[in-house]
Each structure stands twice: as structure tokens, then as C-alpha cells.
């Protein structure tokens, strides 16, 4: 009987935990809004975070973009050549990179690099009582820790996505011309014919929202870390897993929503 | 002007109760702390001395009871209101809680910069003065990870006093320090009281420090105040429990 009750209670408890988690995230958003609109902007810390998050993540997103572009080019070529339309690869690769591949894959990579670092750094500060030290010195942890990271991610992520797209296209051009002997002119003509600047805006807009998602989830995990090193490890793992899952789910809804504003194949 | 009316206690703790799960840490603590006095909190480990200190500065929220600062209830304040109230206080954490990413001097300068001080020379002078008081000037450019436990604690003290707060709460300021540095810290606490009329609340297990610095001693036992009096009254107390605590006797036979 008790096992049956436990089995029935489990989904309910999980749902309540999920609601509680959403409530905590909502509270963090409210604190952040207060910090942004009624507190002072911390430009210096924001600049430091842009260097750490944006500048420091370039290698990761460049490699991700380049090899995604390269492998997508190769796979497309293997199938497209059966139909004799391999010269159109540039079009499909650029649109896919702009709208889905670069934002999602670079977003996931940044989640792993930046989200984990945020959760670990803030979590370590939490268990070492450094967060409480901020509070006793009259500094709200959200003002000092979350606000600069929030702005840094909002600024960095769209640019990182754009960089990822550029290197993805460059790699695609290289692979198609060097490995598959498709003249660059044909490749580029199809890129220009099928890609609009709205596709780039589409990807960068996704990056903007992914940045917000990653920073909120990761900072929340850091700020709520407990139980020493184990708690920091758990918080870091959760930050990456929750951010990655949320990114994939939100990506679908963003695709549906943004396609309404920037339909495929149209310019502004 | 707040902070000058000696008829109103600076800090008043009333019926404070706090539990962590099944563990009832504070079970109704009543305590008044006057302006300019040095109150020492003693008692066995795990009896809630640090928990009480964290309630006084509003880091913890009580289950029942209230903490008043100059007659204003801290327990009904929001976190952002508490941030302003806390600017009147300094706090030394048991583990010092220095920022690992900043040097000692940057750690000590942090509260000054956050309080809005922009003059770099003034900041440097104040940091130097605070570090001098705890004899740590020679190590100002070191990172906290390269300091010994005692040095970290002294850096934490410098950070707590640098803003010249009205009240400083010390959680075991001399634990892990050698006797000479302990004496330096004790003198510093006394000097702060005499020169700036700073109110100090000190948790310590060092009985020589207790008799050196305390105006009043409060003992916490089983979540309530079990003794509240002067060091002389503590020494003269007939309670065997208190005498055993002062002498450091466990009652065990080898």
C-alpha cells in the first residue's frame, strides 16, 4: 500500500518541485529587474564578463560552427549529387546554419562552457559564505553577480552566433570547393540567392534569448548551491542539463514565433 | 540622530526562535545590546551563537521573535531594506569569507568602493590603516588562497572595520591565531570601542580574551541565554557548569 501511495505521490511531488523551481526563477527575474531598472549598472564588471564570456568563448563557437558547416556540406553533397543538384549546397547550408544549426549548437557549447563556469563560480562563493559577505556589506548578490553576467550574455551571445555562422559558411565553402570541386562562384551565388539578412537576425535573436536562458538558469543554480563541494558539483551539472534542455525546448517555440516575423525566404 | 539615545538598546533581541529541520537551535533568546558596549557571547559549540549573530545582521530570518536595531524591527524588512540597515554594521565570518578572486587589499577596499567612495588615495589610505591595525600591511597584495588561516581571519577583520561601522559582529575573531596576534586583535577591539565608541559583539572560546575585552558576557546553552552579566559576575558564578566552561574542564577522568 505504501509503495502504491509513494508511486502515486511521485509525479505530484515532481510537479510541485517544478512549480517551486519556476517560482524561484521568477523571483530571480524580479530581483534582476529591480537591479536593472532601480539599481546602478555595473559597467566594469559587465565589461569583464564580456571578455570572459564573449571573447573567451570564440574558439569554442568557431570550431563548432566550422565543423557543423563542414559536415552538413558533406552530408548534403552525398545525397544531392544523386539528384545532380550539389551546386545548391550553399543555399541550404547557409539557411540551416543561420536559423537552426549555429544558434542551437553554439548555444549548447556556450551552455557547457559558460553556464557551468557561472554555476560553479557563484556556487563556490555561496558555500564559502562569500555571497553572505556581499549581503553584510550592503551589496545585493543579484546586483553584483547576476546583472553584469546578464548583460554580458545578452550582448555576447548574438555576436557569438553570428561568428559561428560566418565560420560555418567559410568551412562549407572550403569543403565544397576543395573536397567536392564545386566552384566557389556557384556556391556563393546560391548562398546569396537563398539567404536574407533576416535569416541572420533570426539566428542572432535566438542567441539573445538563449543567452538570457543560460544566465538565469546557471546563476540560479549557483545562488542556491548548498552542502559544500558536492552541492557545487550538483549545481553545475544541473545548470548545464537544465539550460541545455530548456534551450532545445525554447528553440522550437522561438522557431515557430520568429518564423511568423521573419518567414523563410523573405527579406524585411 | 539614531544611535545616540542610550535609554534605547542599540540591538534588542526578543523571543528569538530558530530551527533547522528537527534541530531547535534557538529556543527563545532575549538580549539587549547597548551602544558602545563590548558583549562577548560564549557557550558550547553548536548552541547557536553564530546563528544568533546572523539573525542580528539579518542574514537569517527567525521562525519567531524579532531583532530590533535602534527600535526598528529588522525581521519585517525586505532584503533590499536590510542592505541599507547592514551598512551600519560590520561582520567577521568564522571562515573570514574573503573573495577568492581579489587580493587582500582589494578585499578590504571592496566595502568602501561599494559604499560609493571614489577617491583612490582615500581608499588606499583607509585600506592601509585597516590592514595596519591587524598587522597585515606586508601581505596586502597576496591572494587569499596564499594566506594562512590566521592571516585570512585578520584580513576579514580589516574588511569588517574599514568602513568604521557603528557595530561590529565578530564570529570567533581569534580562533586559530597565535597568542601574540590574539592580543593584537583584542587590543584592536578595545581601541575601536574607546576611539569610535563601536558596539562589538564577539563570539569566542578564548576565556582570556573574554576577561580582557568584555563589558558583558552572555552564555548560550540549550538555545537560551543561560548567563548574562559582567566578566566579574561570570568569574564569581557558583554554577558548576559555568566554572567548568571557564576552566575548560570536561569532567572526564583519564
- The answer to whether the CB of B154 falls within 8 A of the CB of B139 is no
Q: Could you give the maximum distance between any two Cα atoms of chain A, in Å?
A: 72
| DSSP state, residue B135 | T
The Cα of B144 is separated from the nearest Cα of chain A by a number of Å equal to 12
- In this structure, is residue B93 part of a structural domain? no
Q: Which of B152, B13, B11 is nearest to B88 (CA)?
A: B11
Residues of A within 8 A of B102 (CB-CB) are: none
Same domain membership, residue B35 and residue B112: no
Average pLDDT over residues B98-115: 93
Position B7 confidence tier, pLDDT thresholds 50, 70, 90? low
Domain end: B164, B183, B211, which one?
B164
What is the H or E stretch that residue B10 is in? none
Same domain membership, residue B120 and residue B50: no
Q: Taking CA atoms, what residue in B is nearest to A42?
A: B114
Give me the count of residues in chain B. 254
What is the H or E stretch that residue B128 is in? helix B120-133
pLDDT surpassing 70 at residue A207: yes
Percent of chain B, pLDDT > 70?
96
Domain end: B118, B149, B164, which one?
B164
Tens of pLDDT, residues A120-178: 999 999 999 999 999 999 999 999 999 999 999 999 999 999 999 999 999 999 999 99
pLDDT surpassing 80 at residue B241: yes
- In this structure, is residue B243 part of a structural domain? yes
The Cα of A23 is separated from the nearest Cα of chain B by a number of Å equal to 17
Cα angle: B239, vertex B244, B246; to 5 degrees? 95
Mean pLDDT rounded to a whole number for chain B? 88
Same domain membership, residue B197 and residue B74: yes
On the 0-12 / 13-18 / 19+ scale of CB atoms within 10 A, B152 is: buried
Tell me, yes or no, if A27 comes closer than 8 A to chain B by beta carbon. Answer: no
Residues of B with CB under 8 A from a CB of A: 54, 57, 59, 79-80, 82-84, 86-87, 89-91, 93, 95, 97-100, 110-111, 114-115, 159, 163
Position A265 confidence tier, pLDDT thresholds 50, 70, 90? low
Average pLDDT over residues B209-233: 91
- In this structure, is residue B253 part of a structural domain? no
Q: Taking CA atoms, what residue in A is nearest to B91?
A: A136
> What CATH number does residue B52 fall under?
3.40.50.300
Position B1 confidence tier, pLDDT thresholds 50, 70, 90? very low
pLDDT surpassing 90 at residue B94: no
pLDDT of residue B239: 85
Mean pLDDT rounded to a whole number for chain A? 92
pLDDT of residue A266: 55
pLDDT of residue B244: 85
Same domain membership, residue B67 and residue B174: yes
- The answer to whether the CB of A185 falls within 8 A of the CB of A82 is no
Average pLDDT over residues B18-37: 91
pLDDT surpassing 70 at residue A99: yes
pLDDT of residue B4: 47
Q: State how many domains chain B has.
A: 2
Tens of pLDDT, residues B41-82: 998 888 889 999 999 999 999 999 999 998 889 999 999 999
Tens of pLDDT, residues B138-160: 999 999 999 988 888 889 989 99
Same domain membership, residue B169 and residue B84: yes
Whether residue A137 and residue B110 make contact (CB cut-off 8 A), yes or no, is yes
> Three-class SS string for B54-83?
HHHCCCCCCCEEEEEECCEEHHHCCHHHHH
Tell me, yes or no, if A176 comes closer than 8 A to chain B by beta carbon. Answer: no
Percent of chain B, pLDDT > 90?
52
Identify the residue whose cell numbers are 549546397. Answer: A89
pLDDT surpassing 50 at residue A268: no
- In this structure, is residue B149 part of a structural domain? yes
pLDDT of residue B192: 79
Q: Which of A91, A85, A96 is nearest to A194 (CA)?
A: A91
Domain end: B130, B164, B198, which one?
B164
Average pLDDT over residues B111-123: 91
Residues of B within 8 A of A132 (CB-CB) are: 54, 59, 93, 97
- In this structure, is residue B3 part of a structural domain? yes
Tens of pLDDT, residues A248-257: 999 999 999 9
Same domain membership, residue B155 and residue B171: no
Same domain membership, residue B129 and residue B211: no
pLDDT surpassing 70 at residue A209: yes
- The answer to whether the CB of B196 falls within 8 A of the CB of B164 is yes
Q: Where in the sequence is the domain holding B75, given as residue range(s)?
A: 1-88+165-248
Whether residue A136 and residue B99 make contact (CB cut-off 8 A), yes or no, is no
What whole-number distance in Å separates Cα of residue A265 and Cα of residue B225?
Answer: 76
- The answer to whether the CB of A232 falls within 8 A of the CB of A127 is yes
> Three-class SS string for chain A?
CHHHHHHHHHHHHHHHHHHHHHHHHHHHHHHHHHHHHHCCCCHHHHHHHHHHHHHHHHHHHHHHHHHHHHHHHHHHHHHHHHHCCHHHHHHHHHHHHHHHHHHHHHHHHHHHHHHHHHHHHHHHHHHCCHHHHHHHCCCCHHHHHHHHHHHHHHHHHHHHHHHHHHHHHHHHHHHHHHHCCCCHHHHHHHHHHHCCHHHHHHHHHHHHHHHHHHHHHHHHHHHCCCCHHHHHHHHHHHHHHHHHHHHHHHHHHHHHHHHHHCCCCCCC
Same domain membership, residue B81 and residue B2: yes
The Cα of B115 is separated from the nearest Cα of chain A by a number of Å equal to 8
Q: Taking CA atoms, what residue in B is nearest to A35?
A: B80
pLDDT of residue B148: 85
Same domain membership, residue B62 and residue B183: yes
Tell me, yes or no, if A33 comes closer than 8 A to chain B by beta carbon. Answer: no
Same domain membership, residue B182 and residue B132: no
Amino acid at each position: 500500500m505504501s509503495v502504491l501511495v509513494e508511486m502515486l505521490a511521485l509525479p505530484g511531488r515532481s510537479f510541485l518541485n517544478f512549480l517551486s523551481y519556476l517560482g524561484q526563477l521568477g523571483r530571480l527575474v524580479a530581483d534582476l529587474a529591480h537591479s536593472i531598472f532601480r539599481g546602478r549598472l555595473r559597467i566594469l564588471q559587465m565589461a569583464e564578463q564580456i571578455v570572459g564570456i564573449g571573447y573567451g568563448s570564440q574558439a569554442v563557437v568557431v570550431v563548432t560552427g566550422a565543423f557543423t558547416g563542414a559536415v552538413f556540406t558533406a552530408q548534403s553533397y552525398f545525397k544531392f549529387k544523386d539528384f545532380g543538384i550539389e551546386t545548391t549546397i550553399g543555399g541550404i547550408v547557409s539557411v540551416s546554419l543561420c536559423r537552426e544549426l549555429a544558434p542551437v549548437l553554439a548555444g549548447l557549447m556556450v551552455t557547457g562552457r559558460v553556464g557551468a563556469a557561472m554555476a560553479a563560480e557563484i556556487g563556490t562563493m555561496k558555500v564559502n559564505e562569500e555571497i553572505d559577505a556581499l549581503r553584510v556589506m550592503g551589496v545585493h548578490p543579484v546586483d553584483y553577480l547576476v546583472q553584469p553576467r546578464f548583460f554580458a550574455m545578452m550582448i555576447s551571445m548574438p555576436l557569438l552566433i553570428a561568428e559561428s555562422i560566418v565560420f560555418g559558411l567559410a568551412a562549407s565553402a572550403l569543403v565544397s570547393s576543395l573536397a567536392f570541386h564545386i566552384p566557389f562562384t556557384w556556391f556563393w551565388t546560391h548562398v546569396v540567392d537563398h539567404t536574407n539578412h533576416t535569416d541572420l537576425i533570426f539566428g542572432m535573436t535566438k542567441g539573445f534569448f538563449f543567452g538570457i536562458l543560460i544566465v538565469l538558469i546557471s546563476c540560479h543554480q549557483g545562488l542556491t548551491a548548498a552542502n559544500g563541494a558536492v552541492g557545487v558539483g550538483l549545481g553545475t551539472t544541473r545548470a548545464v542539463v537544465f539550460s541545455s534542455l530548456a534551450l532545445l525546448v525554447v528553440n522550437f517555440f522561438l522557431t515557430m514565433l520568429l518564423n511568423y516575423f521573419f518567414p523563410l525566404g523573405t527579406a524585411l | 540622530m539614531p544611535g545616540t539615545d542610550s535609554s534605547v538598546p542599540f540591538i534588542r533581541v526578543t523571543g528569538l526562535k530558530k530551527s533547522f529541520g528537527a534541530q531547535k537551535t534557538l529556543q527563545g533568546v532575549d538580549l539587549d545590546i547597548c551602544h558602545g558596549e563590548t558583549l562577548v557571547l560564549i557557550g558550547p559549540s553548536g548552541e547557536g551563537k553564530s546563528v544568533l549573530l546572523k539573525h542580528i545582521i539579518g542574514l537569517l530570518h527567525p521562525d519567531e521573535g524579532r531583532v530590533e536595531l535602534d527600535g526598528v524591527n529588522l525581521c519585517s524588512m525586505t532584503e533590499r531594506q536590510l542592505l541599507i540597515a547592514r551598512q551600519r554594521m560590520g561582520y567577521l565570518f568564522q571562515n573570514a569569507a574573503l573573495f577568492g578572486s581579489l587580493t587582500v587589499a582589494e578585499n578590504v577596499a571592496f566595502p568602501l568602493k561599494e559604499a560609493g567612495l571614489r577617491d583612490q588615495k582615500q581608499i588606499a589610505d583607509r585600506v592601509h590603516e585597516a590592514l595596519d591595525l591587524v598587522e597585515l600591511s606586508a601581505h596586502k597584495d597576496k591572494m587569499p588562497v596564499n594566506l594562512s588561516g590566521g592571516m585570512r581571519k585578520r584580513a576579514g577583520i580589516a574588511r569588517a572595520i574599514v568602513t568604521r561601522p557603528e557595530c561590529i559582529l565578530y564570529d570567533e575573531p581569534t580562533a586559530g591565531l597565535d597568542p601574540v596576534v590574539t592580543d593584537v586583535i583584542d587590543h584592536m577591539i578595545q581601541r575601536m570601542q574607546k576611539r569610535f565608541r563601536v558596539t562589538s559583539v564577539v563570539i569566542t572560546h578564548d576565556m582570556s580574551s573574554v576577561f580582557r575585552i568584555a563589558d558583558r558576557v552572555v552564555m548560550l546553552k540549550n538555545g537560551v541565554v543561560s548567563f548574562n552579566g559582567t566578566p566579574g559576575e561570570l568569574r564569581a558564578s557558583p554554577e558548576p557548569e559555568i566554572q567548568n566552561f571557564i576552566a575548560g574542564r570536561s569532567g572526564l577522568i583519564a
